[in-house]
Structure 1
């Protein structure tokens, strides 16, 4: 009855004697009805329940022979990379990190849409100015949603974006001074 490749414990059903079963299994002897059950005290109305298991406690390491297990052993193969096992708390991104990544992705889309190169040294003054305006717009959206970064963790996450914006601002100011 027990299987070896399982883990959920299911106890087999214990036989419960109903009044109908006790009458049908009883025998008559000389006009008296003799029941196969033990006599019930007059104060209780519940039927007796019999059990085939002993009353000895079972430790967590031991299993009773009457207990059936259902859960199989863990597989020995590695789980897929998309499994939740691989997503430890250190690898999961915070909403702030997701937002910073989204800003970088949107800036890349702006560059593609307007035909700007990725490298600042290859951009014209007009392209640098447009890049600065797009970056400024994204940072303002971020600050409206999350406010300015105040904690060291927030500053660490947003530092590359603010550094890039400062660099763009310097280039725009430098080009304005030259004209």
Structure 2
């Protein structure tokens, strides 16, 4: 009886899975084919380097203060030492807050990234959806960052068709 139930379940599952029409796309390859995306990424990388230089300068200032303090520590009174240590700690905290304001989850770079990339993503995803509807696909799988995709038949790979559709605009 158990075998009969298991066999019926397997046949039913196989029938449901085979009835679905699906396609596979590589979103990373699609995004890299969009000039606006590549330009935005280059601008973001350049901005990140600029911001990193500013953050490095703030931390270099902290390091200089600390090195000067270490050099002069022996000749300072305990009150002067405490004041210098507090100054160094305050500068370090300021540098960390500045770094967070640029690179954090709510930082300037992330806000700029969202502002630049979101419209491109919306367009690409809309084109993928339009293509899927055009070919009657029930499901679209992304093969670019999915570590559980172990195999895909090249006949269901539709990345190039989506790229072509994007270029038709």
Q: What TM-score bracket applies, with the shorter chain setting the length?
A: under 0.3
Q: Which has the higher contact order (CA 8 A, sep 6+)?
A: 2
> Structure 1-normalised TM-score?
0.25
> Structure 2-normalised TM-score?
0.26
User: Which of the two has greater helix per residue?
Assistant: 2
